[in-house]
Amino acid sequence: MKRFVSLLILFAAISGSASAKLIMINIKEVLQEAAIMKTIIVTGYEGSEMLYQVNGSNKIFRIDCAVKKSSESFREMQIKGKFMKPSDLSGKWPEIGQTVLILISSKNRVLLFAAKSGTNYRFWDPNSIPFANSMFEIPKESSFKPVPGCQNIHPDDADYWFCTDGCLVSVDRVKEHY
């Protein structure tokens, strides 16, 4: 019940608009349910596709990134309005040449990206757009952490942190899934 009330308060605080949709991302479940999880190098963008190579291969793969235009323009608007910091990654697609971990759904849709940072992977949602903002649900377990700057508006005895800009997951925990 506490979790439901917390989510309800969080949804009301973030959406601010009756037409906004909040997409909850339970990072533990996404790691378990991703159809594909692999390290890639982004080689370019063509129209509504991201081009990439799997680490160690010369073959070029393509995946839909049609949401990139709206997610990144929304991100820029949020930064200009000082609602987001330039270092926030929500709604951002990787740079050309960047090596990232990609999580892909069974429907061949990009779920999340992650960049290795020390002993953790830093996950984010590139698909966060106006009226479909994402919120990470991060279990309070030793291998999961909110990113610095996320504020926990829930009581200390809650089982989850919530953050719009992603989360950190230990490298060892991620390796269990791929």
The pLDDT tens digits of the residues spanning 69-115 come to 989 998 898 899 988 888 899 999 999 999 999 999 999 999 999 99
Count: domains in the chain: 1
Q: Is the dihedral of CA 51, 53, 58, 64 positive or negative?
A: negative
User: Taking the CA atoms of the chain, what radius of gyration do you get in angstroms?
Assistant: 16
What span, in angstroms and rounded, lies between the C-alpha atoms of 40 and 51? Answer: 10
Provide the whole-model pTM.
Answer: 0.85
Ranges under pLDDT 50 in the chain: 1-19
Expressed as residue numbers, the domain containing 25 is 2-175
